[in-house]
Amino acid sequence: MKSTFAGLDLGNGEFAAGVADALARVEDLLLTELSSGDEILTEAATHLAKAGGKRFRPMFAVLASHFGPDPAGEDVITAATAVEMIHLATLYHDDVMDEADLRRGAESANARWGNSVAILAGDFLFARASRLVSTLGPGSVRIIAETFAELVTGQMRETVGARGADPVDHYLRVVWEKTGSLIAAAGRFGAMTSGADPERIATLARIGDIVGVAFQVSDDIIDIASVTGESGKTPGTDLREGVHTLPVLYALAGDGADSVRLREILVDPATGEARPLTDDAEVDEALGLLSGSAGMEQARQRLAQMADDAHTELATLPESPARTAFASLVNFTVDRVG
């Protein structure tokens, strides 16, 4: 029986079975840790964990662990679980900031219990993750503290806006801080806790940087180019929320007639800021202009370059099922945009 995670086919051999077993152990530890607090916290703290998800970050850590002598040892499972807890914690806080009603097809914690409970549940997950990481030693505590700082900085940077910085550079910096930094930490933790050498640890962290940003850019493209239902997202969601993603930023910077019209639709002339779209006709027009734009092509080229960079890093690692899996993951990131 083949094992597939987050679009990644791991085959049906011993390697795939080992990865599946490790992720099952992560799931057990995750729910055990989040269920062991005070009863008043348990329901809210386990809400998103029980709603499912791809578990992409722990999978990344587990794959990285196969470049050390002790893949999927107890420390690897601890690190992978802590990384997933941190990710879940950020989702609680993101949903409060975005006033989201749904998360992973279920009612969001803030919609169900209110903002205060959702924030406190996220804080509890951060605390539990910190406790787990503390068992791995001071080096791991430092890494996770630096990652916390990157996550918060990215959210702050996104909230205050570009403030005169190049919009594309600003956006990519935010994406790295909010997404890439944690996936890089997953790669670093997975390799480090399995006993990999420093050079391989650094390589896997860099691959995490690249893949984290690439996945967000591919989501940006899918939000514009997908047909409703194909990707699980409604096209134009970001436009409705007033979020200008990479293909939009590239298209807005153009000087052709389509770019001029896009600026009229998407930018508030009084403030120069992004304007959320509430009219379906405007969303449809913007999507039509963006789908065939030079900005979309630039975003695809940027994504392809990221994939090339990741493959260059992977080529320095020893050939193995884990390297093949990572290569497949990088290819999936590009192929999913069609």
The pLDDT of residue 205 is 98
Share of residues in the chain with pLDDT > 90 (%)? 74
Mean pLDDT of the chain: 91
Q: How many CB atoms lie within 10 A of CB 317?
A: 21
Per-residue model confidence (pLDDT) at position 4: 56
Q: How far is CA 224 from CA 134, 219, 291, in A?
A: 42, 9, 7
**Any idea which residue has 């690897």 for tokens?**
76
Position of tokens 């051999």?
A: 13
More confident residue, 188 or 226: 188
The pLDDT, as a whole number, for residue 206 is 98
Phi, psi of 107 (to 5 degrees): -60, 135
271-277, long-range: CB < 8 A, 24+ apart: 273/161, 273/242, 274/242, 274/243, 274/244, 275/242, 276/239, 276/240, 276/241, 276/242, 277/236, 277/239, 277/240, 277/242
Give the span between the Cα atoms of 141 and 268, in whole angstroms: 44
Go through the domains of the chain in sequence order and give each one's CATH number: 12-196 (1.10.600.10), 198-338 (1.10.600.10)
pLDDT score at 256: 94
pLDDT for position 38: 81
| 49 vs 55: CA distance, rounded Å | 10
Mean pLDDT, residues 34-53: 86
The answer to whether residue 22 scores a pLDDT higher than 50 is yes
Residue 40 has pLDDT above 60, yes or no: yes
What are 111-168's pLDDT values in tens digits? 888 889 999 999 999 999 999 999 999 999 999 999 999 999 999 999 998 888 999 9
Residue 224: the pLDDT is 93
Whether 266 shows a pLDDT value over 80: the answer reads yes
Does the predicted TM-score (pTM) go above 0.85? yes
What is the pLDDT confidence band of residue 10, given thresholds at 50, 70 and 90? confident
Which residues, including other chains, have CB under 8 Å from residue 256's CB and lie 6 or more apart?
294
Residues 182-215: tens digit of each pLDDT: 999 999 999 999 999 999 999 999 999 999 999 9
Q: Tens digits of per-residue pLDDT, 272-331?
A: 899 999 999 999 999 999 999 999 999 999 999 999 999 999 999 999 999 999 999 999
Please list, in sequence order, all residues whose beta carbon lies within 8 angstroms of the beta carbon of residue 247, skipping any fewer than 6 positions away: 220, 221, 224, 290, 293, 295, 296, 298, 299
Maximum CA pair distance of the chain?
61
Give residue 230's pLDDT.
Answer: 47
pLDDT at residue 216 above 90?
A: yes
- Residue 100's pLDDT band (cuts 50, 70, 90): confident
- What's the mean pLDDT in 71-75? 94
At residue 228, the pLDDT reads 46
